[in-house]
Structure 1
Amino acid sequence: MNPGDVNLQQMLEQAQMMQQQLLSAQQELSEAEVEGTAGGGLVTATVSGSGELLSLRIDPKVIDPGDAADTAETIADLVMAAVRDAVRAASDLQQEKLGPFTQALGGFGGGAPGGMPGLPGF
């Protein structure tokens, strides 16, 4: 066995360990749910760790039966803000879980075509 073979074997073992850790992190993300809110909690959006909208809750206090047009506009604004907040939280979670892997790979992918959709830096 050559001295270089040991390093190659160690590198392969490290790569396999990183692959398992990456799969575990991706699994955690797929099962995670994060929330975003707007209007002091009047609207809450829940998204998956990958950023998919799972649910939306609107407090009835937002609805003004006397002014439907203004209410609709207010609700739309609050929904957009809550969804953006939730997606930002999902992005932060992605960075927390997957960031160490992109750093270990030197930023591999860099968002280039063929990377991982929806994941900044891949």
Structure 2
Amino acid sequence: MTDTPDLGDLLGGGDDGLSGLLAQAQQMQEQLLKAQQEIAATELTGTAGGGLVTVTGTGGGVTAITIDPKVVDPSDVETLQDLVVGALADLDAKRQALTAEKMGPLSAGLGGGLPGLG
């Protein structure tokens, strides 16, 4: 009969090691969910043209666009389109920064906390 270690032994020394690992995974899952909820609820603003075009949104998407009447020129629609795209890009950059801020510590924890991921 071969004496092979069980999964609990491999992951940290019996049932205590396995339950500790499972508790750590559950805690990380809760932290991840909380971070995702914070990102979805945070309102961000992207601007272009010195504030002539403003795009407001959350981590979940765009909620409003404000365009200063000074930039509305029927003979130059391309400039307005560029400003809207620029404001959307600014909003996206801020959303990515927020995501990195909220999720970064959690992803760093994965490397040191779970076997085989570091």
TM-score after normalising by structure 1 = 0.73
Contact conserved, 1:37 with 1:43, CA < 8 A, in 2?
Answer: yes
2:69 — aligned with what? 60
Output the amino acid matched with 2:21: M
State the alpha-carbon separation in 2 of the partners of residues 58 and 42 from structure 1: 6
Identical positions, percent: 49
Output the amino acid matched with 1:4: G
State the alpha-carbon separation in 1 of the partners of residues 55 and 72 from structure 2: 17
Do residues 102 (structure 1) and 117 (structure 2) align?
A: no
Unmatched tracts of structure 1, length 5 or more:
107-122
1:93 — aligned with what? 98
Contact conserved, 1:36 with 1:45, CA < 8 A, in 2?
Answer: yes
Q: How many residues align?
A: 100
Tell me, what secondary structure is at the counterpart of 1:35?
strand
Aligned runs of 1:1-122 on 2, under 5 Å?
3-50=13-60, 52-64=61-73, 68-70=74-76, 72-106=77-111
Runs of 4+ displaced beyond 4 Å: none
Between structures 1 and 2, the one with greater helix share: 2
Higher-Rg structure is 2
Q: Deviations over 1:8-66 (max 9, x none)?
A: 2211111111111111111111111211100111110112213x2211100112124xx
Unmatched tracts of structure 2, length 5 or more:
1-8, 112-118
TM-score after normalising by structure 2 = 0.76
